[in-house]
Structures are given as C-alpha cells and as structure tokens.
A and B are shown apart, each in its own frame.
Chain A
Amino acid sequence: MDGVGLNHYLLLSATLFAIGAIGVLVRRNVILVLMSLELMFNAANINLVAVSYFRPDLTGQIFSIFTITVAAAEITVGLGLVIALFRNKEAINVDEFNLLKG
C-alpha cells in the first residue's frame, strides 16, 4: 500500500454513506429506499474492516460480521413489511404510507 492510508478508506466510506443517504431521502420507491439503506450499512463495514487493518486488531472484522447479520435481519423484516403494505394498499410509493399521520 504505497500512497493509500486510512484516510482514503474513511473518505470512500463517507462518500458511499452520502450516496446511500441521498437515495433514502430523494427516491420515492420504498424498495429502492431499502436498497440505499444497505449501501449505508456497507459504508459502516468498510470503516470497521479498514480500521481493523490499520490498527491492526481483529475486533473490527468480528464486529463487521455482527453488522452484516443485523443488516440481513433488518432487510428481511423490511421486505416483509413492503409485501404486507403492498398487499393492503397496492402501492410502493413512500408518500402513500400515511396511515399514522395525524
């Protein structure tokens, strides 16, 4: 690794997180919102593994396994919710899910 330090990895991770956040805030398709959420999880994992390489310490890699598991659980429940919502409201536009709005 000649010129690439920890900062490069952190900056790449921050950019990926920002792209994911733009996807969550800007797009109206609920499935794409969930996909952008996965991008943000990936950005967190890059941080963990990069710090684990530069310290060096195994804990970052172990922790990223737990992060991946939590992401998988989150996406399972999220897609289950999307299917239930689509069955009840026939819509996948996030703005139409306003049952709880006062």
Chain B
Amino acid sequence: MSSAAFYLISAIILGGALAMITSRSLVRSVIWMVVSFVGVGALFLLLEAEFIAAVQILVYAGGIVVLFLFVVMLVNLDELQRVEYLHRQWLPAVLLICLLLAELGFMMWAGAGDTVVPLPDQDQLDAVLRSVRGGNVETIGMTLYTDYILPFEVVSVLLLVAMIGAIYLAKERV
C-alpha cells in the first residue's frame, strides 16, 4: 500500500520535473514546477515529517512560485519567444549528467547489499519525531528554539540580508 504511494508520488515528482525543463512556454514550466513541489510535499508526509510538508507547500508551492510568476510577467513575452530553446552544447551536458546519475545509482544499489537500513518501527519514530506532546510541529518548535537557537537566529539574519539585497538590486535607480 505504502510502496504503491511511494511509486505514484515519485512518478508525479519526476514527471513534473521533466515536463518543467522541456516545456517551451515559461508559464507552463512554472505550473509543472508546482506539480513537482506538491509531490515532494506529499513525499514528506509519507516520511512522517508533517511540519516540513506544510513548510514545503507554503514556501515553495506558495511563495516561490508566485515570485517566479511575477518575474515571468515582468519580462515581456516577445523577448521570451526569441530565446533559443537549447544550449549549443546540450548533448555533451546531457551525456555527462547521465553518467553522473549512473554513478550515483550504481553506488546506491551496490551498497544496498551490504548495508540495508532497517525500517524503523512506529514506537521508535514517535519517540523521536513526536517526543513533545505527541506532535511533530511541537517537537520541531521545541528543538528549534532550544538546541538550535543560534543557527535559527543566524538564518533569520540571512533572510533579512537577502531581502534588503533583492530590494537594492531591483531598484529603479541605484
């Protein structure tokens, strides 16, 4: 049952990604990107990471996609039509990436014989992922605000810097 869900979600993710990079229309690419991102969110639900799944949907399928659509609307569509579809050296690039994928896949399947990671049982999972009041969100919040408070603050400053930088870069007159 669960493995059928995994294969269905994988098909959605990879199909969305492939359709995204092959589509000629940029708006259609953005829509396929939403499909792929929602699939990744569903995969996180399958992996019992409810909070990350919600963040994935909110930040990626919500925020980043809207940002991309804004930029697609800002640059005019006549310009988009004139862009050549593929890079001149697309064939060597695709071959090299296929080689990389073959290497990664070989390593994973060859290593699978020696070190099979056992499936965690539900009690063990609940004890780690839902230790605070039986909820994943509570547990992540508690860990984030106690053990990881310094990285949390640093990353919020990073977000602020990125925001100021983006406003400065996109300003009319600098």
Contact = CB atoms under 8 A, between A and B. Distances in A.
Interface string A25-54: 111110110111011001001100110111
Main secondary structure on B side of the interface with A: helix
A102 interface: no
B127 to A, nearest CB: 8
Interface string B9-47: 010011001101100001001100100110010011001
A7 B108 contact: yes
Nearest to A69: B155
Interface size class of A (residues with CB under 8 A): 35 or more
Contacts of A57: 128
Interface size class of B (residues with CB under 8 A): 35 or more
Contacts of A64: 49, 52
A94 to B, nearest CB: 8
Contacts of A56: 120, 124-125, 128-129
Contact of A1 (B3, B72, B128): B3
| Most B C-beta atoms less than 10 A away, residue of A20, A50, A56 | A56
Given A68-B59, A79-B71, A25 B47 contact: no
A1 to B, nearest CB: 5
What 7 A-B pairs are tightest by C-beta distance, nearest first? A73-B162, A23-B21, A80-B169, A80-B166, A25-B93, A14-B104, A18-B101
Interface of B: 1-3, 6, 10, 13-14, 17-18, 20-21, 26, 29-30, 33, 36-37, 40, 43-44, 47-49, 51-52, 55-56, 59-60, 63-64, 67-68, 71-72, 74-75, 79-80, 83-87, 90, 93-94, 97-98, 100-101, 104-105, 108-109, 111-112, 116-117, 119-120, 124-125, 128-129, 139-140, 143-144, 148, 151, 155, 158-159, 161-163, 165-170
